[in-house]
Structure 1
Amino acid sequence: MIGFMKEFENCNVLVAGASRGIGKGIATAFAEAGASVWLGARKEATLERAADEIEKISGTRPDIVARDFSNSDASDLIDGLPALDVLVVNYGDTDTAPGFDTSDEAWGRLLTANLTGPARLSRHVARGMAERGHGSILFIGSICGREALGAPIGYNVGKAGLRALSKTMAHELGPTGVRVNLIQPGNVLFDGGRWDDKLKAHPALADSVLKAVPLRRFGTPDDIAQAALFLSSFRASFITGAELVIDGGQTVGF
């Protein structure tokens, strides 16, 4: 964290999807770097716990925004926040069985969570950033948006759409001074996450999974957080429309 110490002082950052894992890691990194941070997610109690943990690490307690950001009314809440310098969109949903023959209900829910919701929120925030002439929007996608890796089809399609959304917004917002980028994580392990659950149920699974990863390990939330800090910082002021894959080399041979 030394490289970014206090680099984000006087910056307002909203991390949507920040109650655990990657989102909480990103929010922690911004708080340590001096930013004023808002944590967004659905469950207030979970956000309060995350805020407690971040305060212990950074010395600063973030504010919380308890709302389902995939809903249309979530954008209205943003109007009550200070002007945002950085928006990190980290939420999504994989909660359905893999397979092509998914229900219309599951399909619609996954697309709303992984694409329509992020598009709605980012467009709303982008308007204010464009008026002020600066800002950074960072989407957290998945390598499943690049390759077919066994996740539910609605999730894959949603994340692929997020990739197109990021590039298109970067192109359209560039003249206003607003930058838009995308991080595509691979297998990230954290307490209570999908891989944590899978490995507790099937410990031997780790060996087979990591055989496909040249660096032979799972990613950590901090691996993603450090990249998020860079892409949101002045050091990346000439970077927009970029797609950074952080997967230990898993998709390098695709």
Structure 2
Amino acid sequence: MSDPHLAALNNFTSTRHGPTIPANLYLPSTPLPEGFSLLILGASEGVGEHIAYAYARAGASKVIISARRLPNLERVKSELHNLNVSIRVEVFSCDVASATSVAALSLFVKEKSGRLDCVVVNAAYAPPITLRAHLDQPEDIQRAFNVNCQGSFNAAHYFIPLLLSSPHGARQFFAIGSMAGSIRRGHIANMGYCVSKMALTRMIEYLHEQYSSESAGGLFAVTIHPGAVNTEMAKGNTPESFIPYLVDDVGLCGAFCVSLTKRVSDGGLRWLGGRFVSATWDIDELLAKETKIAEGDLLKFALVLE
């Protein structure tokens, strides 16, 4: 049986994008802020890789890409230079689940960049999918929480101070989450991935509460569902019954992130901070729901009382 939460999320805007990238994501056409510096954790392949490409096309000045596998990062670096000959690219091998590793990355970013406008946490781990807790392996569940939750906390802990202290910085923190965090039943309703992604979404709500009221606009933090993408991670774990649903463009999330960056930097969308959004939603329809979302405090987790 499908999960009603998933259907409601998919249909939050009447228009759903995914297999193709809509033109209105590239509006407004204003450039990224001058000297824009970006860090992407989990940029060696798939969604994270294409997020880097989207910012390169948009004219980012500097991008630091990190992941555990350094050879893959060198390939991404080469492609970034092909897309934007003037972009400055730095690579760093980092395991987000390790606070020591993320601390070392933060020192590297300060040395190489000196400022930071946006952090995108894309690193993720999906354990083998089972639908019974007694079939899950404890070490797999632990790894999912270490990467998906602790990893995002590590990034917040070490990079939010740099985001907030960068002069005239964009102050943006994007966590790549998943609609899977809202479900309880269905093909992929497993403990490790789904519950850890739910916790990630809740963590972003906390970051908004703690840092959005800082001076100069504070931190803008959101959780972003990238779409249902047939990445390498998905190929290794997704049940055959769910494969037909993995139809979304791997570049959709990158285009959505760039659109958010530009719109927030232009002074809009602050009301969306701390919430869960999906790259598959039509952004114009989403903006039209501002009053409804703000008044109902929607797109956040809550216990249902009535």
2:243 aligned with 1:243, yes or no?
no
Contact kept, 8 Å, 1:22 with 1:221, in 2: the verdict is yes
* Greater RCO (CA < 8 Å, at least 6 residues apart): 2
After superposition, where does 1:86-235 map in structure 2 within 5 Å? Answer: 86-99=118-131, 100-101=133-134, 102-132=136-166, 134=169, 135-148=171-184, 149=186, 150-176=188-214, 177-190=218-231, 192=232, 194-195=234-235, 209-210=244-245, 218-233=247-262, 234-235=265-266
Residue 79 of structure 1 corresponds to which residue in structure 2? 107
The answer to which of 11-20 and 59-68 deviates more is 59-68
TM-score normalized with structure 1 length: 0.82
C-alpha displacement of 1:90: 0.4
Q: Is contact 2:128–2:237 with CA below 8 Å preserved after alignment?
A: no
Structure 1 residues 131, 54: CA separation in 2 closer, same or farther (over 3 Å shift)? Answer: closer
Tell me which amino acid in the other structure corresponds to 2:53: T
* 2-structure distance, mates of 1:91, 1:98: 22
Distance in 1 (CA, whole Å) between partners of 2:68 and 2:48 is: 13
Return the offset for 1:245.
2.0
CA contact (8 A) 2:27 2:259 kept: no
Alpha-carbon contact 1:189-1:218 (below 8 Å) kept: yes
TM-score by length of 2: 0.69
* RMSD of aligned Cα (Å): 2.7
After TM superposition, the structure 1 stretch with the greater mean CA deviation from structure 2, 38-47 or 125-134, is 125-134
Report Cα offsets for 1:183-202 as digits up to 9, x if no partner: 02331135x4524x689x96
Aligned residues of 1:16 and 1:90 also touching (Cα < 8 A): yes
Once the two structures are superposed, residues 182-228 of structure 1 have per-residue CA deviations (whole angstroms, 9 ceiling, x without a partner) of: 102331135x4524x689x96x975xx34xxxxxx711122111111
Deviation of 1:70 (Å): 1.6
Q: How does 1:36-51 map to 2 (within 5 A)?
A: 36-51=62-77
Once residues 249 and 242 of structure 2 are traced to their aligned partners in structure 1, the CA distance between those partners, rounded to angstroms, is: 18
- Aligned CA distance change for structure 1 residues 193 and 158 (closer, same or farther; 3 Å): closer
- Counterpart residue number, 1:58: 84
- The whole-number CA distance in structure 1 between the counterparts of 2:259 and 2:208 is 17
Runs of 5+ unmatched residues, structure 2: 1-25, 283-306
CA distance in 1, matches of 2:189, 2:84: 35
Moved over 3 A (4+): 1-6, 131-134, 246-249
Residues matched between the structures, number: 237
Pair 172,205 (structure 1): closer, same or farther in 2 beyond 3 Å: closer
Q: Greater CA radius of gyration, 1 or 2?
A: 2
Aligned partner letter, 1:52 = S
Consecutive unaligned residues of structure 1, counting only runs of 5 or more, are 211-216, 250-254
